[in-house]
C-alpha cells in the first residue's frame, strides 16, 4: 500500500530501513537528468537511481524485495550534492522514503527535502557506520524515530541524531510546508497589492 505524502507536524516516523552506501552521491545519480523532461513528478518514484539499478540488475537496494515498503534510508557523506533539481527528493519521496539519516547532506538537497516534509538528520561517521551495520543485519526489524529525542532506535540499540534548530522547529510545528505559510494571511497580500503603483494604474 502506498503511504500518504508527509502532512502537518512531523514528530515521529517508524518503519523498516535500508542503506545506500557511498559518499558524494549526487542528484544525477538519484534521478538521471533525462527524467527532467516529464510533465509530472508522479512517475519519478520508479526511476529513482535508475542508472545504478540498471547496472546492478535487480540487486540494487531499491530493487531488493525485502526493502519494499521500507521508508527510512541511511546514507553516508554529502548526500544529494550536484544540481539543485527538486526531482531527486521528489523521486525518493514517491518511492516511499520518509526519513533520511546520513553523515551530511548537500545544503540545497536538505532544503528541498525539508520542503517536502522529509527530515534529513545527521550523525557522526562512526555512528552512521554502526547504524548501517545494524540495519543490514536484519531487514525485517522496525526502527522508531522520535524528533523530540533526536534519536532512532530498534528498541535495543539507539543512535543519537542531529538537526539544525530551524528545521527542527519547522518539522515540529508543521511549518515546513512553504505553500500553506504563504497562504496564511491573505489580507497582507491584498494590502501589498494595494500599495503597488503598477497594479493600481500608477495612482
- Shortest distance (Å) from residue 61 CB to other proteins: 26
- Shortest distance (Å) from residue 141 CB to other proteins: 32
Would the CA dihedral through 167, 106, 51, 14 be positive or negative?
negative
- Shortest distance (Å) from residue 32 CB to other proteins: 12
Which residue has cell 512553504?
178
115 versus 150: smaller Cβ distance to other proteins: 115
Of the candidates 1, 3, 2, 10, the residue with the CA atom closest to the CA atom of residue 113: 10
138 versus 184: smaller Cβ distance to other proteins: 184
148 versus 203: smaller Cβ distance to other proteins: 203
Helices in 71-200 by DSSP H: which ranges? 87-95, 107-114, 125-137, 165-173, 178-182, 186-194
Q: Rule CB under 8 A: which residues touch other proteins? A: 5, 36-42, 84-86, 90, 112, 115-116, 166, 169-170, 173, 175, 178-179, 181-183, 185, 188-189, 192-193, 195-199, 201-203
137 versus 186: smaller Cβ distance to other proteins: 186
1 versus 196: smaller Cβ distance to other proteins: 196
Residues 6+ apart with CB under 8 A from 158: 151, 152
- Shortest distance (Å) from residue 180 CB to other proteins: 8
Residues 6+ apart with CB under 8 A from 95: 45, 46, 48, 62
**DSSP count for the chain of H helices, then E strands:** 9, 8
Cα 193–chain centre separation: 35
- Shortest distance (Å) from residue 113 CB to other proteins: 11
Helix axes 107-114, 87-95, angle to 10 degrees: 50
Amino acid at each position: 500500500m502506498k503511504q500518504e505524502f508527509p502532512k502537518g507536524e512531523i514528530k515521529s516516523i517508524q518503519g523498516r530501513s535500508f542503506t545506500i552506501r557511498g559518499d558524494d552521491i549526487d542528484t544525477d545519480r538519484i534521478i538521471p537528468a533525462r527524467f527532467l523532461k516529464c510533465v509530472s513528478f508522479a512517475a519519478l518514484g520508479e526511476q529513482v537511481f535508475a542508472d545504478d539499478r540498471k547496472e546492478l540488475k535487480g540487486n540494487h537496494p531499491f530493487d531488493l524485495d525485502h526493502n519494499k515498503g521500507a521508508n527510512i534510508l541511511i546514507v553516508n557523506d554529502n548526500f544529494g550534492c550536484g544540481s539543485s533539481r527538486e526531482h531527486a527528493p521528489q523521486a525518493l519521496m514517491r518511492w516511499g522514503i520518509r526519513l533520511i539519516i546520513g553523515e551530511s547532506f548537500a545544503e540545497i538537497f536538505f532544503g528541498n527535502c525539508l520542503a517536502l516534509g522529509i527530515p534529513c538528520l545527521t550523525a557522526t561517521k562512526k555512528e552512521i557506520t554502526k547504524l548501517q551495520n545494524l540495519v543490514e543485519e536484519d531487514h525485517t526489524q522496525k526502527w522508531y524515530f522520535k524528533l523530540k529525542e533526536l534519536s532512532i532506535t530498534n528498541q535495543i540499540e539507539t543512535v543519537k541524531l542531529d538537526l539544525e534548530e530551524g528545521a527542527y522547529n519547522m518539522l515540529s510545528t508543521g511549518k515546513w510546508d512553504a505553500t500553506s505559510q504563504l497562504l496564511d494571511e491573505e489580507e497582507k497580500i491584498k494590502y501589498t497589492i494595494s500599495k503597488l503603483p503598477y497594479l493600481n494604474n500608477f495612482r
